[in-house]
Amino acid sequence: MTEMNGAESLVRTMLASDVDVCFTNPGTSEMHFVAALDHVPGMRSVLALFEGVATGAADGYWRMARKPASTLLHLGPGLANGLANLHNAKKAGSGILNIVGEHALPHLELDAPLTSDIEGIARPMSHWVETSTSAADVGADAARAVQAAMTAPGQVATLILPGDTAWTDGGIVAGPLAPPDPGAIDPARMDAAAAALDGPDSLLLLGGTALTEDNLIRAARIAARTGCHLLSEWSNARMERGAGRVAIGKVPYPIEQALEALKSYRRIVLIGAREPIGFFAYPGKPARLTRPDAVFVPLAGAGDDIDAALDGLVQETGAAAARPLGLHDRAETPAPSGPLNPDSIAAALVATLPENAIVIDEAITTGRSFFPATFGAAPVSWLNNCGGSIGYGLPCAIGAAIACPDRKVAALIGDGSAMYTVQALWTMAREGLDVTTLIFANHSYRILRGELTNVGVQNPGPRAIDMLSLDRPRLGWTDMARSMGVTAERVEDAAALTRAMQNGFDTPGPCLIEVSL
């Protein structure tokens, strides 16, 4: 029997644990892992030109595949470049296995240029961090890392692989380890939740996997039976919505609107959701968005068995036979024409989104009204940024497209957001992914203009406004896309947008549409 090195045992262990996609940006210290990909068939390796693309893609992959992808990152700085999207993934409850190369262990004391505290860099954005210390351990370490990544709702696991543990013989493939069972829902909590949901001053607030199609039906039966209202959190990792599905609103982002939307609820049951709070703090505004006397019943957190919680609550409220409230019809809106604005763009989405599409929503200001305006679109999966670090959208689209090769992906991205991880376009082209990207070109960090006012800055001067303006020079999105092999066009009115989107969804491979605002 031939000996295998640590790197090969790692790849084989990952495959045994059903991790078969790797988003990579390797360097010297990862060359044995790269070489192992030649010996071991079955791992789809997707190259990224920037590590934030790799980690964001792994986030999108988890949300759609419900299993972890891996990333391959080069030492501390490579991991550092991926941290912002790991932050977003962590907040979304996405499971990811990061493989981070490290110098050979005896090399560390020499403090070579690329030496850094990799565990320290990993920890703020990881639930699980370990460094393998011998080739014989790599397989077992990797199996535990995948187990950590699979732990509900999904966790970020970072395994650090010193060069010598990769290249030394003696690797041992480890079998898969089951993630811990989330355990049963507390019956006392279930009683309290069922009692709390009674009439329109009670709210069932949903998040995470409470927003699957089946769970929304369960919630809609409970609403029909108890008279409670339904809402989701502002940012949702994935919500199933559109025609034929339960139309459920969101807690608004602006503080005043959120206070208004929540002011009548005295009893709030949480399933996969947390107490509604402000995204940011603002001088003189409250951070908790519900009535001071509101009573919360946290029935199931993100890591609990959310399907069981909703199913149990259906039984407990006697809602099993209730007709679900709020199933939305397909909107029969005509294709829009005239100027481009949030309403006409939303109408173009309703007109063109293909059935079963995946919508990646990072259209910060332009897209704020898309959500209510698209209840009657074709049934789609709708993905939000849950960590607030912009630059998640284009990478997330890559991961979603690779997880679901039979589905079309629509990436709705603000121009400011798109620039953080614009390198993602190249990977879309390389992999021929069916992603139609809309760039909303308002030439500014538009949200910050509002935020200046929100934090109490009246009449900002030219220097402040200049720091939020992206129009000197204007970004040329069609040139940008073409430079990375993505076909592109710029549209100036809603009819052209609708045609371009239709064309994008009908044509294999990626395209980009600059939506001129």
Site for its own copies in 157-196 (CB under 8 A): 163-164, 167
Q: Where does this chain touch its own copies (CB under 8 A) — which range of 72-80, 217-225, 260-268, 291-299?
A: 72-80
- Tell which positions 96-135 bind its own copies, by CB under 8 A: 103-104, 106-107, 110-114, 116-117, 120-121, 123-125
Tell me the two tokens of residue 334.
């005509």
| C-beta of 112 vs 184, nearer to its own copies | 112
Q: Decide: helix, strand or coil at residue 70.
A: strand
* Residue 351 C-beta: closest distance to its own copies, Å: 29
Stretch that binds its own copies, among 218-226, 296-304, 335-343, 471-479 (CB under 8 A): 471-479
The smaller minimum CB distance to its own copies, of residues 315 and 507, is found at: 507
**What number of CA atoms fall less than 13 Å from residue 247's CA on the CB side?**
17
The interface region with its own copies, picked from 185-193, 259-267, 292-300, 476-484 by CB under 8 A, is 476-484
Query: Where in 339-378 is the site for its own copies (CB under 8 A)?
Result: none
**Among residues 231, 358, 480, 494, the one that binds its own copies under rule CB under 8 A:** 480
Count of other CB atoms within 10 angstroms of residue 181: 8
Nearest to 358 by CA among 327, 379, 333, 388: 379
Return the C-alpha torsion angle 345, 347, 353, 358, nearest 10: 60
Considering only residues 418 through 457, tell me which ones interact with its own copies, judged by CB under 8 A: 419-420, 422-423, 426, 429-430, 447-448, 451-452, 454-457
Instruction: Give the amino acid at 424.
Output: A
- Residue 279: CB minimum distance to its own copies, A: 6
11-70: contacts with its own copies (CB under 8 A) = 24, 26-29, 31-32, 34-35, 37-39, 45, 47, 49-50, 52
Binding-site size for its own copies (CB under 8 A) equals 101
Interface with its own copies, residue 248, by CB under 8 A? no
Taking CA atoms, 323 is separated from 166, 217, 221, 225, 326, in Å, by 57, 9, 6, 8, 10
Stretch that binds its own copies, among 59-67, 73-81, 359-367, 371-379 (CB under 8 A): 73-81
Our CB check for its own copies shows the closer of 38 and 181 to be 38
Tokens of 9: 């045992």
User: What ranges in 157-231 are assigned the alpha helix state H?
Assistant: 163-167, 187-196, 213-226
Any contact of residue 386 with its own copies (CB under 8 A)? yes
Decide if residue 483 touches its own copies (CB under 8 A): yes
Query: How many residues are given for the chain?
Result: 517
Q: Two tokens at 39?
A: 């010996």
Q: Find the distance separating the first CA and the last CA of the chain, reported in whole Å.
A: 64
In the bound state with its own copies, the residue whose beta carbon lies nearer, of 10 and 75, is 75
When binding is defined by CB under 8 A, the residue of 136, 177, 192, 470 that contacts its own copies is 470
Q: Closest distance between its own copies and the C-beta of residue 123, in Å?
A: 6
Distance CA 124, CA 121 (A): 7
Q: Per-residue b/e over 466-494, b at no fewer than 16 CB within 10 Å?
A: eebebeeeebebbebbeebebbbbbbeeb
- If we measure between CA atoms, which residue out of 74, 69, 62, 61 comes closest to residue 15? 69
Between 102 and 304, CB nearer to its own copies: 102
The alpha-carbon radius of gyration of the chain (Å, integer) is: 24
User: Which residues 272-301 are close enough to bind its own copies by CB under 8 A?
Assistant: 274-275, 277-281, 283, 287-288
Shortest distance (Å) from residue 460 CB to its own copies: 6
> Could you tell me the smallest distance in angstroms from the CB atom of residue 154 to its own copies?
16
Q: Which one, 334 or 458, has the nearer CB to its own copies?
A: 458
Angle in degrees, 0-180, between the axes of helices 342-352 and 494-506, rounded to the nearest 10: 30
Nearest approach, Cβ of residue 366 and its own copies (Å): 18
Residue ranges of alpha helices (H) inside 40-134 are 51-65, 75-92, 118-122
